[in-house]
Amino acid sequence: MADVTHYVQSHVATITLSNPGRYNAMSLAMWAQLADTLDLLSHDGAVRAVILRGDGDKAFVSGADISEFETQRNDPANVAAYDVAVDRAQTTLAQFPRPVIAAISGICYGGGLGLAMACDMRYAAPNARFRMPAARLGLGYALKGMKRLVDVLGMARASEVFYTARVLDAAAAERFGVVNSVHDDVFAHAAQTGAEIASNAPMTIATAKRAFSTLLSGSLDADVKAVDAQVKACFASSDYAEGRKAFAEKRVPNFTGQ
């Protein structure tokens, strides 16, 4: 059964994309579920980081569920509605207000790679395989998705990944900058990284996320005031006082997000 599930533990939310019979291919319902889940978690102040993973270790996401295309993408109206659902999920992921970590094991193709590109950090297992197969399927790829590829990889490598539709193994993906690093137990590494993020000052992390998103969007004039306001709020926060006190006392700070 295709489904999107999540749980929150110690300020870290883990979202699992589950369609194991099709290597976690994203159905139309799953695209909508993912966006709804992210919306829900974005309003949960207890969540300081998110881990996105696939069900099991054989696949992160193998792409969109092509078995639905005959019914869900068979005319212009259906194609438009499907594309809106995909764009909503990927945009909500990219704009999530706290850091998002992709823990990638096995296949990460097409829409799966698009989801990974929308995350802040990407870690891979040695068995991970990456591919953008659009050119082999004859389908068009939206500008937002192309921009994320370029933002992460740079124009030359994004072009190679897209034009060739070549499969990259984990080592090649690391060389290309598709992933930050490769780990034997990628889920443990993602959990450790999420815990490290969650232990830091939430307002500082959220401000940095807003700044990074602003830099990637290119809309500095529109968002610089918002980022500046968040920076000032950090300096006025009790967490800033706690951070200074903990440093002086040589202990681990206890941040509350206030």
106-148 pLDDT, tens per residue?
999 999 999 999 999 999 999 999 999 988 888 777 788 888 8
Residue 220: pLDDT over 80: no
User: Looking at per-residue confidence, does 25 or 64 come out higher?
Assistant: 25
Contact yes or no for 197/49 (Cβ under 8 A): yes
Q: Where are the beta strands (DSSP E) in the chain?
A: 3-9, 12-18, 49-54, 59-61, 100-104, 107-109, 121-124, 129-131, 168-169, 181-182
Distance CA 194, CA 52 (A): 11
pLDDT digits (tens, 9 = 90+) for 158-183: 999 999 999 999 999 999 999 999 99
pLDDT at 167: 96
Which two tokens mark 45? 């102040």
Q: For residue 153, give the amino acid letter.
A: L
Q: What percent of the chain has pLDDT over 70?
A: 91
Angle at which helices 202-217 and 220-235 pack, to 10 degrees?
170
pLDDT in tens, 7-51: 999 999 999 999 999 999 999 999 999 999 999 999 999 999 999
**Do the Cβ atoms of 193 and 121 come closer than 8 Å?**
yes
CB proximity list for 64: less than 8 A, separation 6 or greater: 25, 26, 86, 110, 111
Average pLDDT of the chain to the nearest whole number: 88
Model pTM?
0.90
> How confident is the model at residue 184, as a pLDDT?
98
**In the beta sheet, which residues pair with residue 122?**
102
Q: Is the pLDDT of residue 67 over 80?
A: no
Q: What is the pLDDT of residue 73?
A: 57
Strands 121-124 and 181-182: what pairing? parallel
Question: In this prediction, what percent of the chain has a pLDDT beyond 90?
Answer: 61
